[in-house]
Structures are given as C-alpha cells and as structure tokens.
Amino acid sequence: MSSERKYFGTDGIRGAVGTYPITAEFMLRLGWAAGKVLAREGGGKVVIGKDTRISGYMFESALEAGLSAAGVDIALLGPMPTPAIAYLTQTLHAQAGIVISASHNPFCDNGIKFFSASGRKLPDAVEQAIEAELERPMTTVPSKDLGKAERVTDVDGRYIEYCKSTFPNGATLRGFRIVVDCANGATYKVAPSVFDELGAEVVSVGVKPDGLNINADCGATQPENLRAEVLKHGADLGVALDGDGDRVIMVDHRGEVVDGDEILYIIARNLYDLGELRGAVVGTLMSNLGLEVALGELGLTMERTKVGDRYIIERLEDTGWSLGGESSGHIICRDRTTTGDGIVAALQVLAAMVRTGKALAELKSGMSKFPQTMINVRLEQRLDVVGLPAVASGVRQVEADLGTEGRVLLRLSGTEPLVRVMVEGRHAPIVRAAAESLAGIVEQAIAAGP
C-alpha cells in the first residue's frame, strides 16, 4: 500500500462511527469524490450495498447524495453480503460497487469498500485519485445532470442462484442437517435459502438483525455459538459466516471448529483429486505451518503473502492460480469468485463431502495443525513496534528457543489499532509461554515509547 494513502487501508476505510472519517459528512464527500473520479473514467451507475448495522442507513443516504451531486446514477441493493456486491456489480453492468460494512467488527464500527466493474477491489491508482479529489472543494453538477437513484428489489434471488451454481451439477445436500449462523449480518436472508434450496435441512441462527447485534456472540468470530447449536440439533456440520459474509468458519458433527486453514486444505485436496487445482495454494504469513506440511505431503506448494485477502487475490490474479485463503476464513476460490465468499467456500467443502462420502471431521484429519498462539496488544498510536530494540531482541530470543520447528510473527493490524504477536511451534505449552513473554516485552516497549 502506498505511504501517500490517507484514508484507504488494506480493506477500505474503517473505524468507529462518529469518529472521523466514519461520519456522515465525510461519507457525503467520499461519495462525491468517488463519483467525480468514476465520471472521468466513463461514467455509469454505482451499486451500493450494506450489512445490517444501524449506521448503514445514515451512510447509505450520505453516499447516495454525494454520488448524485457528482452526476452519477445509483442502484441501492439494501442488506447484501460483500461478495454479493462484487458479483452484482458485474451482472448489473455497474461501473463500481460500494459496500457499507465493517465486516467482523462490532456494530459501533463501520466502513466502506469499493469494487471495480469486474468485481475486484479498486486499483491503487483509483483509490489515490479519490483521495486527491477529497482535498478539493465539493461542487454540484447542474440540476439536469444530477444522478438518479433506484432501489433494486430482485438481488436476493440473483445471488442465491449464483451461489447454487458453484455447487456441482446434479449434486444434492439431501440428507444433511446443517446449522447456519449468519451473525445477524448481511447473509441473514440469503445463506439459509442457498443450503435449503440445495436440499439440506437447515437450522438457522443469527438471522434476526436489529442493527445492534451484528457479530454479537455469534458468527465466524464467535464459533462457540455454532458449536453449541450443532451439538444441540445433532447436525452433520455447522457453517458460521461473519457480518458481511466474506468469511466462513465451520464446525464438524463432534462440535470441533474447522478454521480457514483446514477449510483451505479440504478444498485444495478436493480440487487436486479432481485435477482442477491450478498452481500453488496461497496462504498468508499467519497460515498454520501444519497446512504447509499437509499440502507438501500431497506434492503441493504453498506460497505466503502479507496478511489480508487483498494480497492473496493479487497473487492469484498475477499467477493465474486458483485457490487461496486466510486462517480467519477468507477463502478465495478464484475459478468461482473474484473475492472471499463464505457461502461459496462452504459449498466447496460440502462438495468434497458429497463426492467422497466422508464426514467433515474425517476430511480435516488429513491436516494436523501446529499449536499457534496469537496475542493482540493495543496501540494508542501507530508505531514501528518491530523496529524497537527491545522487541527485536525478544523476537531473536524466542526464535532461537524454537529452533527450526517454530516461527514468530509480529505485525500491525490493517483494520484495528493492534499489534498481533504470533508464535507457532510443535509444543503448545512452550508456544504459549513464548507468546506471553513476547507480548509482555511488546507492551513494555510501547509504554516506554520510541
């Protein structure tokens, strides 16, 4: 990412509602600035979707007003998953798509993501042009040129059919009982319908959004809720999505959580067995060593990128490879989607279950995860923590203690004011103790300052 960027991070613009730039005034100007840039590049309508946060109404109206003032037409899609906006931007032949969401964050946060006409994240150059426009005085086009807005009403059905189309032709989910946790978020209407229409018996939870309960004790970031429901209903598996639907975490029939690394392994192995896997599997610096080892045993290569689905997608597109993902549950099936899609990824796991006749617990058993501990240390201001002498010394010591059977990673979160301290190795007690020791060193170094 460019150091010149003022607002856009690795995943759009995100923060606490009411704190600049996550304000109605800024969103008005952002809509106008984006509209000015898009108008210069050829015009065309912009689609806007959102998750279920109460602040989404406010920001939707502000963006709509700004785009209209710039002379750009708007199609309002209402609550829809982030990957659905990427898909619908293409199928509605829009010039761009805007998602109002803070993904897995609590309701008091919100954010903005943009998609290009191809359903991919905006190029850096376009984001930089929007930021440059934000520094200029806002103007309004003549009244006859103002953008018009319409509300599109058939988008749920379009996206449901698209998701179903990624499941093998002729295959069915009849006989499966699946718990689907929609995190009281953007998938609350579409996700249960997808699995139901493919034949599964669906138990729906997290499908009563009230504007305040998105991601609250449910969804992909809180899989304990899903685990309890799977065991309660005697389900074959559970699927937990996050607030905007681009992440998925699963639970097997025994109540054991299946994370993004394990999901990635299951999909990669299935595609490999079918002869449909192209190139290396792309993970991140946070991907578990066990995934790399398990793929290696199949003769497959794993390549790591920086943390963030943006970087995975860029690598897949640069190479033409077909599959990548993150431990958190962002899974990109590039032969089916242009971005992370929790519903589509879950369907690919189910496709492997149907093809092999194996339970989810059996499919994931081909990979053994190395114990991994991650501790988040809060930052009050941006700071090059890794470059602090005390921290660098602490990292060297932990790496020496772990030897060749472990690794250490310190990184700044791209979406929250946190330093993530991760330690991984073969022996859980040693890993935990090392992570706690290193997190303590980081806290002391931050308190002492640069």
Question: What's the per-residue H, E or C state across the chain?
Answer: CCCCCCCCECCEEEEECCCCCCCHHHHHHHHHHHHHHHHHCCCCCEEEEECCCCHHHHHHHHHHHHHHHCCCCEEEEEECCHHHHHHHHHHCCCCEEEEECCCCCCCCEEEEEEEECCCCECCHHHHHHHHHHHCCCCCCCCHHHCCCEEECCCHHHHHHHHHHHCCCCCCCCCCCEEEEECCCCCCCCHHHHHHHHCCCEEEEECCCCCCCCCCCCCCCCCHHHHHHHHHHHCCCEEEEECCCCCCEEEEECCCCEECHHHHHHHHHHHHHHHCCCCCCEEEECCCCHHHHHHHHHCCCCEEEECCCHHHHHHHHHHHCCCEEECCCCCEEECCCCCCCCHHHHHHHHHHHHHHHCCCHHHHHCCCCCCCEEEEEEECCCCCCHHHCHHHHHHHHHHHHHHHHHEEEEEEECCCCCEEEEEEEECCHHHHHHHHHHHHHHHHHHHHHCC
| Residues designated catalytic | 103
